Amino acid sequence: MSLASDRARQLRHISILASAGSGKTFQLTNRYLQLLARGAAPNSILASTFTRLAAGEIRDRVLFRLAETAWDKARRDELGRHIDVPALSQKSVRDLLRLLAQNLHRLQIRTLDSFFGTIVRCFALELGLPADARIVDEDEAYALRREAIARMLQDDGEGDPERIIELLASLTEGSSERAVTETIDATVSSLYDLYREAVPGAWRAIAPAELLGDDAIDAAIARLEAARPTTPKRTISAHDEDVRRARIAGRGDSDAWQEFIKKGLAKPIAAGVNLYYKKEIEPHVVAAYRPLIRHAQGVFRQRIITQTVATHELLALFDRCYERVKARHKALTFADLTVALARAELRGQLDDICFRIDASLRHILLDEMQDTNIQQWAALRPIVDETVSYSPDVRSFFAVGDVKQSIYGWRDACPEVLSELPRLLARPGGQVVIEQQTLATSYRSSPAIMEVVNRVFAQVAKNPALAPYPEAAGKWDEQFATHSTARGELPGFCELRTIGRGEDSQKRTTLRLQAAADLVAELYVRTRRRGAPTHLTIGVLLRTNAAVSRLLFELGPTRRNIPATGRGGGPLTDAPAVNAILDALKLADHPDHTAAAFNVQTSPLGAVVGLCDESQKTGERPDLAVARQREPAVVGRRRRVARQIRRRIASEGLAAVIQGWVRAIAPHTDERQYRRCMQLIELAEAFDARSASRMDAFIHMVEARSVADPAASPVQVMTVHQSKGLEFDVVILPELESEIAARRSLKVVYERDGDAGPIARIARYVSKDIWSVFPDLAPVFEQHINRLAHESLCLLYVAMTRARQGLYMIIDPPGSRPGAGRLSTLLTGALAPGEEPPGPDETVFTHAHGDAAWFRPLHLVPDEPPPPPTPAALGLSLPIAFAPTEGPLLRSADPLARVREGQRVRDVLTLDDVHAGSWGAAARVLLGELDWLEEFEASPRANPVALTELVLQSVSGKDEAWARARVDELLRMLEAPGVRQVLCHGGEASRVVEHDVPFARLIDGALQTGTIPRVVLTHDALGATVAAAVVGVAGDRVDSEEDARARAPGYRELVRAWRQATAEQWGIAPSVVSVTLLFLASGYAVEVA
């Protein structure tokens, strides 16, 4: 064996800087398997990452790679090359797989929080923490935080309300735009982690200001008044105004000093420009201004110091109360674990740690290390230091991440920990023990995507949009290596386009989201019409959860009717039905909350809880006098309902009460709302387990917690942060108008001593025109603002590199947006440099590689001849959605799948006569009115005029002529013999019809939800259900009964779900539940076994 090959097979301490799509998890699992193959015990390898999902992915990939190579020699040989075991045998792989399977409970593949938690529990006494403390989630942490704030405001020895009011007055400069509690909470929630990381001296590191005394101020003003300019008249007038302002400021008005320095002659002199309207200011005048300008600047400086110290003091008061509250409740947060370990002295105690946690850790593998914050690194540092002090064959260290994907600055992530690892872990004398490697080849994206990524992110320092942030641009250029791709065979297409003009930012945001929704619809239908793979995925990535909710609405059944779900999601309050339920719970706690009562009363839930009065049931609108007469009765009813809700919750539990409401309002909700209601029930079950009683706490939990929509869909809508680690065939980016370094919400800025060093100075944030005048403070602000700019670059990089083949970026026309420092200007500067600014609704840039036509939107693809017109296709049942409670993939059976494949874009966007959504809605109205066909035909409900009115109320965007045409056509379809046979009574008195029956059932740990469109129940003499007949409607157009029978097996999964759900719902055997499919458009009925 040669020395070179022997060296290649030696383990090394490694840090990998990996670009997007280059295989970070692949490299980490290679290292894990390499260690196993060398004889490392499974419990001796710590593989840590930041989320349970990512930890599960690492574990699953390790097991899967062993499982697939156990039976495939080619893959086994490939694995052997990756882990430096050339002759990897089948027996060795099977032995490793068996070893892992037998030790799954001892694997140390876990999140960093979980690892820290285990150590803290074992060292609780040494760390001064209660041994029986429990880890609380964010909802409970919020409640504890609010309790601590309440104690701060109590004059009982714990709090100091007078001092707090003084501090808040200093922080808000006397303004009272928000409640005291909210002001404190906004401060502590954003700055508490920073408070715990920084030493107290960092908050007092700004040198004090040099201020004039009262007598010196008066003398300086007198000198200024005496130094009156001789010419010109405009300069003389400005000088006189400055004297007036100085006299006001000299009486102690600090705001007046700001006005003094920002106006008149003082403004250019303070900036070092002794010109006023291009006329030179006389030297004796300039000299008279300087003492007062220095004093005014000193006032500003003192304000920064005062507010910074007040912020620290407020945080210290909160910390004292918060620690007492947590101790009283025996509660800890995950951040507490990190802080406890960061402050502990664990250096040299790795063996003791391993003994106590029952794991002989010898090898450390860290994933996504760019997201590590300084506190986490401080907790890890002793363990890592001890690990790298050994030979890699004894103990080894491996870290992987991408500093270009560090998008968690708001969690104080410090990507420099990863990039500076060789320096941070160097041995005494400067010996480097960490080998740093770089990966820049993507195994995800097509050449088109990579070429655009290189064009945008290479040499960003030359982009005019980043001129204000030279430090951020320079650091990015140092870190960015030109990307290549291993997927040269993939076609791809990229586009940058503008929207139409909008009069304000809110309107432009709406236009961009609507343009994104239109593009999703075009791509979704176009790709299917051109034969693209059915698993094609589209990701729409946004900045805020509010935008996610709006876009899901735009894609929903009432708009474009494109199947789309939100990942990571937002609060359940994005569903109107959930809001109605929460308002009912709010009413229970606050019976006189008239807004909540109104919202419940005007929703379908109002009738369920008993809030509707007779006028609502009849549609009567009483005049004002009558309404006033009824007011006492309304108040009494409202309080009675609130009392009833409270009693039911106390006796049945919150989850049971909500479940009953959901069952009652289900016919009035669409599929997504129903799913969100089911998720609300799950949250209520967790809330019941806490034995909490106040509904306000539950309402806040629901409003604050993000809950993923579990439905499977090829279209996913989410924030860029939630897309981390994911990939899509097509990515659409409609929110690119954010500032590169947004500072509106900044409260403080800080400066580190070195890239990954401790915090050296902290200052309360002020505007640039103030901080820029202090040369010693400017670096603090510039470093922080450049960090924000760097994070914006990371965010854009993450968003663009999620794409495999298609990338669409939607921006405002340049003339309509204020300012230049935006991501959109960065893109136009990189992709269309030197060109005329684009106008509204214009394509700024396109780039294609290979045959990318199937990814292009309709306006770029020559249209195809329309298919021959088809009869209306009906879709009368919601698809079944298998929504897992803990992570399994979702299955769905969609009866409209065949219909959607052949549709054109205009069929979806204009909802014309061949669109199943409008037909389905009209047909649901008709069948909902029909229990038995013969009774229906003899009743006033069959009147076409009345049915037309009902259809118009249920189907938006249609006129009376369309509705009447659909009603006439549907009534003719009911005359078909096969349809009549199924829908007629038959003279059996024991049969009862139920419509649109919702169901939810657990199957192998997954939640299956759906709706049974029509079920006919047969009862015995005692009223017990003994049989059932389910009737569903198929959307296919068939030519014969044989054709209908041939199509029926395609609905087998849907039929099985209906049959099982019906059997469970009415307590009968599945064998006595028949299911018949109506091919309504063709007049055939087929019973499905």
pLDDT level of residue 224 (50, 70, 90 thresholds): very high
HSE-up (13 A, CA, CB side) for residue 78: 11
HSE-up (13 A, CA, CB side) for residue 752: 19
- The beta strand positions in 677-781, using DSSP E, are 715-719, 728-733, 748-752, 759-764
Torsion angles phi and psi, residue 879, rounded to 5: -70, 150
Question: Domain 447-475+490-568+714-860 maps to which CATH number in 3.40.50.300, 3.40.50.1220, 1.10.10.10, 3.40.640.10?
Answer: 3.40.50.300
Most confident segment among 138-142, 408-412, 758-762: 758-762
C-alpha to C-alpha distance for 538 and 803, rounded to whole angstroms: 9
Taking residues 140-169, report their average pLDDT: 81
What stretches of 1008-1078 show up as alpha helix (H) in DSSP? 1041-1047, 1052-1066
Calculate Rg over the CA atoms of the chain: 34
Q: What is the pLDDT of residue 740?
A: 93
C-alpha to C-alpha distance for 974 and 923, rounded to whole angstroms: 11
Q: What is the pLDDT of residue 79?
A: 94
Average pLDDT in the chain: 82
Q: What percent of the chain has pLDDT over 70?
A: 85
Residue in the block written with tokens 């001064």: 128
CATH class of the domain comprising 880-1088:
alpha beta
Tokens of 332: 């800890």
Of 281-295, 376-390, 644-658, 994-1008, the one with minimum mean pLDDT is: 994-1008
C-alpha to C-alpha distance for 909 and 906, rounded to whole angstroms: 5
Strand, helix or coil for residue 19:
coil
Of 480-494, 937-951, 957-971, 996-1010, the one with minimum mean pLDDT is: 996-1010
Cβ-based neighbour number of residue 468 at 10 Å: 17
Of 62-71, 755-764, 871-880, the one with minimum mean pLDDT is: 871-880
C-alpha to C-alpha distance for 424 and 417, rounded to whole angstroms: 8
Region for 517 from its dihedrals, namely left if φ exceeds 0, alpha if ψ lies in -120 to 50, beta otherwise: alpha
- Give yes or no for a contact between 805 and 449, defined as CB atoms under 8 angstroms apart: yes
DSSP designation for 537: -
C-alpha to C-alpha distance for 377 and 362, rounded to whole angstroms: 18
Res 4 pLDDT > 50: no
- Please name the residues in contact with 733: beta carbons below 8 A apart, sequence gap of 6 or more: 541, 799, 800, 807, 808, 809, 810
DSSP designation for 411: G
> What are the tens digits of pLDDT across the range 496-534?
999 988 777 888 899 999 999 999 998 887 766 554 445
Q: What is the pLDDT of residue 855?
A: 59
Res 1073 pLDDT > 90: yes
| DSSP H or E segment with residue 578 | helix 576-589
Tokens of 1071: 């064998």
Res 876 pLDDT > 90: no
3-125+338-442 classified as CATH 3.30.479.30: no
Q: What is the pLDDT of residue 854?
A: 53
| Buried/exposed code over 594-618 (b: 16+ C-beta within 10 A; e: otherwise) | eebbebbbebbbbebbebbbeeeee
- 396-401/363-366 β-pairing: parallel
Angle at alpha carbon of residue 259, lines to 258 and 265, rounded to 5°? 110
Residue in the block written with tokens 């806490």: 690
C-alpha to C-alpha distance for 596 and 1020, rounded to whole angstroms: 44
C-alpha to C-alpha distance for 231 and 224, rounded to whole angstroms: 16
Cβ-based neighbour number of residue 74 at 10 Å: 8
Strand, helix or coil for residue 156:
coil
Q: What is the pLDDT of residue 927?
A: 78
Taking residues 255-282, report their average pLDDT: 89
- Give one DSSP letter per residue of 932-998, joined into a string: SHHHHHTSGGG-HHHHHHHHHHHSTT--HHHHHHHHHHHHHHTTSHHHHHHHS-TT-TTEEEEEEEE
Tokens of 579: 């809001």
Closest CA to 648 of 617, 688, 682: 688
Using CA atoms, how far residue 609 sits from 597, 657, 658, 700, 809, in Å, is 11, 11, 11, 22, 47
Task: Give 484 or 872, the one with higher predicted confidence.
Answer: 484
| Buried/exposed code over 630-657 (b: 16+ C-beta within 10 A; e: otherwise) | eeeeeeebbeebbeebbebbeeebbbbb
Cis peptide before 232 (omega within 30 of 0): yes
> What are the tens digits of pLDDT across the range 981-999?
888 876 666 788 888 887 7
Residue in the block written with tokens 């999620």: 802
Q: What is the pLDDT of residue 89?
A: 92
